[in-house]
Amino acid sequence: MRTIEWHDGVVRMIDQRKLPHEFVEVEFTDYRDVARAIKEMYIRGAPAIGAAAAYGVALAAVHSSARNRSQLLADLKEAAGVLRGTRPTASNLLWALDRMLAKAEDQALKDIREIRLALIAEAEALADEDVEINKRMGGYGAELIEEGCSILTHCNAGALATVDYGTALAPVRTAWKQGKRVHVFVDETRPRLQGARLTAWELMSEGIPMTLIADNSAGYFIQAGKVDIIFVGADRVVANGDVVNKIGTYKLAVVARENGVPFYPVVPTSTVDLATASGNEVPIEERDPEEVTHVRGQLIAPEGVRVANPAFDVTPHRYITGIVTEGGIVYPPFKKALRAVVEASRQ
């Protein structure tokens, strides 16, 4: 089951806002609607957002009324601009758009028809690659998981955050398929509850043992010796190894270091941003205050309360044990090692 797919000029995706109570798929034929779906979190997770952006560009190409190459390229750049503005933090979004525009500008493509077909094929290739990359990361990460291991994860970095299989949950899935007994502590992940709604749903669907916990109880379980390793995803990893991920990740990493628990982000190299020196330079998305004041449409705070709602935080590289990528596990010093694994992935 894929989170997002292309079907004869239509982009079909799971509406993750409805889970776990309803499984609903929605279809879009306009890139603007894909952009809205990204912004409103029908689809979320850095790799899945990247795939959605790629498919959005393909839609723009298919439905453009351009009569020549220059008009089509102008339409595609406009579409990319709209898609680029949906989620400012996720590196995969920018990477996917740059990849699609580079394909559109390929001089080997002779006419508009060839460009359109090439962009559909490129978006499909990007999606297929995501699945294979995730499985490779799962293999590397599973080597860190011992029999009877207790794992903690934050937010949802499973199949729903990617095209399929997942990032942080990929090692868990692989270890489980290898026959290892594992148990997963799942942070609920306020304010949108991606852990409670999505990660719990994924793990329970596959019969992988798990326990849902409140975010503010994670430290208790770590300190009590009930957590052997922590896997998280990331929306961006910058050149020095700082990791930008769902809000609440930073405090997990600090508590993990204090208690000697290894902490591993699991990320494809498409999430690595070598052009940004440190996490302090990454724009942090500020989301709707109602995500904090309301739960399922029900007001839980005083009317008119002042709210701050950053979607992500930055975990400094000094708190990170290693970073699992499709090219292997990267260890400090991250600046040199990340560049090497990214360059190797492009060969």
pLDDT at 1 over 90: no
CA atoms within 13 A on the CB side of 203: 30
pLDDT band of residue 347 (cuts 50, 70, 90) is confident
Listed by start position, the domains of the chain span 4-134, 139-345
**What percentage of the chain has pLDDT greater than the value 90?**
95
Q: How far apart are CA 22 and CA 315, in angstroms?
A: 34
DSSP 146: P
pLDDT in tens, 24-35: 999 999 999 999
3.40.50.2020, 1.20.120.420, 1.10.150.670, 3.40.50.10860: which CATH number matches 4-134?
Answer: 1.20.120.420
Give which of 245, 241, 248, 244 is closest to 321, Cα–Cα. 241
List all residues 6 or more positions away from 347 whose beta carbon is below 8 Å from its beta carbon.
none
Fold of 139-345: Rossmann fold (3.40.50)
10 Å CB burial of residue 289 (0-12, 13-18, 19+) is middle
Q: Catalytic site residues? A: 235
pLDDT band of residue 194 (cuts 50, 70, 90) is very high
pLDDT at 88 over 90: no
Using alpha carbons only, give the angle 33, 36, 40 rounded to the nearest 5 degrees.
140
Q: How far apart are CA 286 and CA 312, in angstroms?
A: 8
pLDDT band of residue 189 (cuts 50, 70, 90) is very high
pLDDT in tens, 93-104: 999 999 999 999
Say how many residues make up the chain.
Answer: 347
Range scoring the smallest mean pLDDT among 107-111, 192-196, 244-248: 107-111
Q: Look up residue 200 and give its two tokens.
A: 């719990």
Range scoring the smallest mean pLDDT among 107-111, 177-181, 235-239, 285-289: 107-111
Tell me what pLDDT residue 231 has: 98
Q: How far apart are CA 312 and CA 88, in angstroms?
A: 11
| Averaged pLDDT score across all residues of the chain | 96
pLDDT band of residue 19 (cuts 50, 70, 90) is very high
pLDDT at 91 over 90: no
CA atoms within 13 A on the CB side of 263: 25
Q: What does pTM read for this prediction? A: 0.93
Determine the average pLDDT of the residues in 195-221.
97
